Structure formats: structure tokens, C-alpha cells
Structure 1
Amino acid sequence: MQSENRLFDDFVKVMNGAAGTIAGMGREAEGAFRDRMREWVGGLDMVGREEFEAVKAIAVAAREENQLLKARLDALEAGTWKDQAASPSKPRRKPGAGATAGQ
């Protein structure tokens, strides 16, 4: 047996309307929040992903080149020090130290 109670039906309709309104307000608040965050982040001085990856690749290449140059310099210095240890050279004179005053 189903009784027809208009008060109960009206209450259900009001609650359904309120639920829809609350859901709409939530979507609107979320959209406003996203817009605010976009504006805020857009004002910051940030780089994009592509630019970051490009700079990162350049840094890696520079680091590798630096390591190669360091290894080359170490090898050159090692050869120079061996040569100096094998044959001691005369002490170096300062430029212009041997020049006479009349020249």
C-alpha cells in the first residue's frame, strides 16, 4: 500500500535540487580555483618542460667534455712532470733579467 504524501515528495524534490546545486557549486569552485592557480603559476618565472630538458642535455654534454679535458690535462701534466724529473733543467730566469742598462 502506497500512500501519497505530498510533503514527502516535495521534500525529496528539494533535496535532489539541493544536491544538484551543491554539485554545481563544487564544480564552479574547482574551476575558479584552477583559474586562480593558473594565474598564480603563470606569474612565476618558471621554465617549460622542453626548455628544462634542453638545458639539462647541454649540462650533461658540458660535464662529459669537462671530464675529457680534465683527463687530457692530467695526462699532459703527468708527461711534463716525468720529463722534468728525468732531466733537471737550469733554473728559469725572469724575462729582462739578463738585459743590460745600455741596450
Structure 2
Amino acid sequence: MQSQNPIIADLVKLANSAAGTMAGMSREARESARERLREAFGGIDFVSREEFETVKAMAQKAREQADALEARLAALEAKNTSK
């Protein structure tokens, strides 16, 4: 059953319009915030987890090789000084 009162009908229309406007403003604010974040982080170069892990493994291997070479050098120097 619908009300025939024009004042109530106008109030309902006003409430519906306000709800639609608020939803639109919310959507607009969210999109604006996303765009500002994209601009802020646009100049920063991020690496993927896979790239990070690959470089980390390479660094670990290089460190192990450097330690092994250091030990060999120390052994050669010790052998050389004992002669």
C-alpha cells in the first residue's frame, strides 16, 4: 500500500537521492585515494619475492666462495711462511 501523501513521497525521494550521492562520493574518494597512492609509489622500484630470493641465494653463494678462498689463501700463506 503506497502513501498518497506528497510530503512523504518527497522525503523518500530525498533520502534515496542522498543515499545515492553518498555512495557516489564514497566511490569517488576511494578512486582518488588509489590514484594518489599509485602516483606516490610510481617512482619506487619494487622487486618481486622471486627476484629477492634469487639475489639472496647468489649473495650467499658468493659469501661461501669468498670464505673458501680466504681459507685457501691463509693455508697457502702458512705453508709459504713455514718454508
Whether TM-score is above 0.5 comes out as yes
Q: Counterparts of 2:2 and 2:30 in 1: how far apart (Å)? A: 42
State the TM-score, normalized to the length of structure 2: 0.67
Measure how far apart 1:28 and its partner are.
1.2
Which is richer in helix?
2
5+ residue gaps in structure 2? none
| Alignment pair present for 1:48 and 2:46 | yes
Q: For this pair of structures, how many residues does the alignment match?
A: 83
Aligned to 1:28: 28
- How far apart are the structure 2 equivalents of 1:3 and 1:65? 81
Structure of higher CA gyration radius = 1
Q: Deviations over 1:9-53 (max 9, x none)?
A: 2111110111001111111122122222222222x3x21334x75
Percent identity, please.
Answer: 35
Instruction: Find the counterpart in structure 2 of residue 63 from structure 1.
Output: 60
Runs of 4+ in 1 over 6 A off after TM superposition: none
In structure 1, stretches of 5+ residues that fail to align are 90-103
- Aligned letter for 2:12? V
TM-score of the two chains, using structure 1 as the length reference = 0.57
Write the letter of the residue equivalent to 1:69. Answer: A
**CA distance 1:13–1:56, shift in 2 (3 Å):** same
Structure 2 CA distance for partners of 1:35 and 1:3, relative to 1, 3 Å:
closer
